[in-house]
Structure 1
Amino acid sequence: MTHGHAFPPMTTVGPGDKRYPALARGFNQRWIARPDYVRLVGSPAGAVRALSEAVNQHPADPTRTRITVRSGGHCYEDFVSGDDVRVILDVSPMCGVYRDPDLEADCVEAGATNWHVYSHLYPLTGRALPGGSCYSVGTGGHVTGGGFGLLSRQFGLTVDYLYAVEVAVVRPNRTVDLVVATRDDPGTNLRDLLWAHTGGGGGNFGLVTRFWFRDLPQPPRKVRLAALAWKWSKFDKAEFGKLVSAYGQYFRDHQDPDEASGKLFAMLKLNHVSNGEIGLLAQVDDDDPGGEEALADFLRAVDGAIRPTSGQMNAPMGEHPPLRDMHTPRVLPWLTATQALNGSGENRCGKYKSAYMRKPFTTAQIDEMWAYLGNVHYKDYVNGEALIQIDSYGAAINHPPRDSAVPQRDSIMKMQFQVYWKRTESDSAVKRHEAWIRDIYRKTFATSGGVPAINDLTDGCYVNYPDADLGSGEWNASGDAWHTLYYKDAYTRLQQVKRCWDPLDVFRHRQSVRLPKARGEASGPE
């Protein structure tokens, strides 16, 4: 594939430009910035120039000083588009995907979306990133946070294949350098910079321009895909408990990536009762001789554990549209199946929370989920786009080939609490949406301070599903700081990388990696 762009390397969009209202916000309409300008960057050299100009400009408004970077624009909090943002550097024009013979690696530019990568890399090479299902998520953020998806139980995380990263960094004298850090670098600082981008989160160390991956996996020629749903009206508390327990127990017992069951990925969609349905998506490698039976066994273990009868999925569920005509599993080419699952939902406002589960859910957790999904509490709350999504996890993820900054490597499930609403809704309605997700989350993890603290049952939170509430004592009474929930013991090393590569703290937001305290400096709240 040729590497080049038909457009100018940089385009600047200011408040008077008709494109400005669209470019001043990301995918989550909850957050809209008022930057002095948005600069669209089309090359690594352009990134250096844009960052250098931005970091050496004097802010006219002292309340808006941050410089942020956007690739796909899917940040869940106000870390990219916020009231205090002065400049947004948008790398979405830098979206090439090609083979780099010099580094003997597949190069993905930071502005490429998941679908760019799947639809270009796979046809050209037969290989793929084991990344996410939402097509429009940008790799600049997805990869740096650890990136996982439907192929991850079979092949691991995206960062398990990361060989090199190119980053524009700001030096203490405010000059900007373009640095390439590889896995094989002799210098500790460069190796640490690469390591920090294997799960240390975006927006922490510099402006990422390119990633290089080695030995990427070949996805299956075909996968077997199932989508089914149950009517909420058919459930009582006991049947709900059987469903959620059976799901967790299945993934507790099937964690061998060499077995067909270890290659199976599933999402359980526990929607609020006002949605009308509970949904289940599952995909397995159909090239594996045991794939068909593994999917059948999974469906027997989950669907067969309850009295309600499953049928076709009819309702949209979170970020996924309803997948019809898949109650009987269908065999599809991998890329075709990936396209069928591709979704990001409509442009809307959203709030999210996450949890890593090391074990199946306790009875108390299941009872709280049942109650707060509208069966006891929030009965008068009508929002079919409020849900808990429970993704399968583990298997190959729990056997990384090398050290990474993703510390959650023994979990069996990953939860994502989601709630969506329209920007036109009243302030009181928005507060109701936020109250629902905060309450169901706090009650689900009531025994560990309202969050999935680091313990035998739970293992913290996913940095790519950021939640500003984790930094509030009102919502986090666990004793584990937000950075512990994201990074665990890796945080201290990430702080050292921050001190080396972003000593001026240019890349910062409410939950960015903090510069370590100088010796003798009084410590304050994190």
Structure 2
Amino acid sequence: MVEQSRRNVLRGGLVVTAAGLAVPITGAGPAAAAVYYDPRRRAFAVEAGSSLGEAYRRLYLGWGVTVPAGWCPTVGAGGHVLGGGFGPLSRMMGLAVDHLYAVEVVVVDGRGRARSVIATRERTDPNRDLWWAHTGGGGGSFGIVTRYWFRTPGARGDDPSRLLPAPPPTMLSFTITWDWRDFTQDAFARLVRNHGRWVERNSSPGSPAARLYSEIQLNRRPIGQLGMIGQVAAPPGTAQRLLDEHLAAINEGVPATPSRQVKTQPWLAAALAGSPGDPGPAYRLKVKSGYLRRRLTDRQIDVLHHHLTRSDYDHPGGTLSLYTFGGKVNTAAPDATAAPHRDTIMKLFFVNGWEDPKDDAKHITWLRELYRDLFADTGGVPAPGDGAFINYPDNDLADPAWNHGAPWHTLYFRDNYPRLQQIKAKYDPRNVFHHALSVRAER
């Protein structure tokens, strides 16, 4: 079945660049979505058109392995991996790019000619810097990715089942909710403070709690609930104990009783089910991001409570989610990949969703003001040592009207930006691939 699928797509195809150039790409078929084992490279190929869910399905059913990538199975691998690739297994296994062996990219040279380049992490590869740029440098800066190959560093032999990590046999998925009516400002602050303390204590590499991943959802009061979703990668008894301890620590001293829904499933079923409550296709969205190396301060918690409960804005859509981070992710050096945030404990996801375009300004302004006020001590944006996530692109970070702190490229790439600029100049000297937050070649 796998080999037949592979033959169906390996017929040659065309990739059209932003400059309008059509280029034949060996191994890229009409769908460009194949997932297969490549014995020549001893690595698993995932073409850029594959969804994460299809990659999980084929890797697991074929060889019992996976890549620690995102929770949403409909997300495309092509863009997800470029930002680093993070999901429920990353606290145990690292980022997706920590397992990236090679990448195939269509680039355009100084004469406007397009070509396909395969870049690997091998030290002897003359294109290794192009591989490195695709381990967290974001999309739309260097070329068009058509294929990835994955193999865990240090994996030996040619048995495919030993070349990537095996997921746990089962996964415990959970949804926790609290009634907003049960929360005073002090109770809200206690909940968020408890959560931050738990994350500070349980985000070191090798921590038993790294098997637990959670997203606490701090919603606008009009929606009626606060929530938390997550997964635990452990045998059922251990998984339930880790969840109980997590919830008890977060709820300590909080005068509100949460309700819970818990389901233990085979890992693949849980991976393909995805995260609950993802916004539907009808929503217009504005997102922002941040990383934290320590919990939110009491001042920030008060700011957050104000914006989630303010009476001059009645829309229920706004949310700040706090994602657990760290663990195995933090074992890599900041410059080992282009994804530099290797000393963090939390990822912040700010989102507002609405339906009518005429309301854009009102809803975007609410999110902008929350972000600005939360980070007022560092110029309206995260501290440069904390930073932001390139796969939640936010043009406001490049706008001096909203960013009075660190430059946008420092927030996304820290000290890795000069190296990314050099790679940009080498592989895209005509700046064919560009957008508001793309890497700028050094002048």
User: Whole-Å Cα distance in 1 between the matches of residues 90 and 118 of structure 2?
Assistant: 26
Match of 1:163 in 2: 101
Distance in 1 of aligned mates of 2:341 and 2:29: 29
* 8 Å Cα contact 2:191-2:251 kept in structure 1: yes
Query: Equivalent residue for 1:36?
Result: none
Q: What is the CA–CA distance in structure 1 between the aligned matches of 2:4 and 2:131, rounded to whole Å?
A: 23
Match of 1:370 in 2: 305
Structure 1 CA distance for aligned equivalents of residues 376 and 177 of structure 2: 29
Change (3 A) 1:505 1:426: closer
Secondary structure of the 1:514 match is coil
**TM-score scaled by length of structure 2:** 0.90
Q: Which amino acid aligns with 2:106?
A: A
Equivalence for 2:250: 302
1:17 is matched with none
What does residue range 16-415 of structure 1 map to in structure 2 within 5 Å? 45-48=12-15, 50-51=16-17, 54-55=20-21, 93-188=31-126, 190-215=127-152, 216-287=164-235, 290-312=238-260, 326=261, 329-342=262-275, 344-347=278-281, 348-373=283-308, 375=309, 377=310, 379-400=311-332, 403-415=336-348
Q: Structure 1 residue 473 and structure 2 residue 440: aligned?
A: no
Separation in 2, partners of 1:56, 1:389:
41
Distance in 2 between residues matched to 1:386 and 1:52, nearest whole Å: 34
Structure 1 residue 245, shift from structure 2 partner: 0.7
Change (3 A) 1:366 1:214: same
Aligned to 2:348, the other structure's residue is in SS state strand
Change (3 A) 1:305 1:128: farther
User: Does the 8 A contact of 1:91 with 1:110 survive in 2?
Assistant: no
TM-score, normalised with respect to structure 1: 0.77
Secondary structure of the 1:473 match is coil
Return the match for 2:364 from 434, 440, 454. Answer: 434
Q: 1:444 aligns with which of 371, 374, 390?
A: 374
2:297 counterpart letter in structure 1: T
Q: What displacement does 1:223 show? A: 1.8
Shift of 1:126: 1.1
Alignment CA distance shift 1:494-1:231 (3 Å): same
Q: Could you give the per-residue CA deviations for residues 136-191 of structure 1, whole angstroms, max 9, x where no partner exists?
A: 21111100110101111011100000000011111111211111111115144x11
- Between Structure 1 and Structure 2, the one with more helix by share is 2
Conserved 8 A contact 2:14-2:22:
no
Structure 2 SS opposite 1:466: coil
Native 8 Å contact 1:494 1:513 kept in 2: yes
Letter in 1 for 2:307: Y
1:494 has 2:420 as partner: yes
Residue identity matched to 1:421: W
Whether 1:485 aligns to 2:411 is yes
Q: Is the 8 A contact 1:275 1:385 kept in 2?
A: yes
Higher deviation after alignment, 446-455 or 237-246: 446-455
Preserved contact between residue 56 and residue 174 of structure 1 (Cα < 8 Å):
no
1:510 aligned residue? 436
What is the CA–CA distance in structure 1 between the aligned matches of 2:204 and 2:6, rounded to whole Å?
A: 44
For residues 464 and 214 of structure 1, the distance between their equivalents in structure 2, rounded to whole angstroms, comes to: 23
Secondary structure of the equivalent of 1:498? helix
SS of residue in 2 equivalent to 1:140: helix
> What RMSD, in angstroms, separates the aligned Cα atoms of the two structures?
2.3
CA distance in structure 2 between the partners assigned to 1:172 and 1:256 by the alignment: 45
Structure 1 residue 228 displacement after superposition: 1.1
Inter-CA distance 230–3: structure 2 relative to 1 (3 Å threshold): same
| Offset, 1:290 | 4.3
Return the alpha-carbon distance in structure 2 between the equivalents of residues 477 and 178 of structure 1.
Answer: 40
Amino acid at match of 1:513: V
TM-aligned CA distance change 1:228 to 1:288, over 3 Å? closer
Q: CA separation of 1:418/1:92 partners in 2, compared to 1, >3 Å: closer, same or farther? A: farther
Structure 1 residues 103 and 6: CA distance shift in structure 2, 3 A: closer
Query: SS in structure 1 opposite 2:353?
Result: strand
* In structure 2, C-alpha distance between the alignment counterparts of 1:226 and 1:380, rounded to whole Å: 34
Count of matched residue positions in the alignment of Structure 1 and Structure 2: 424
Give, in angstroms, the shift of residue 46 of structure 1: 2.5
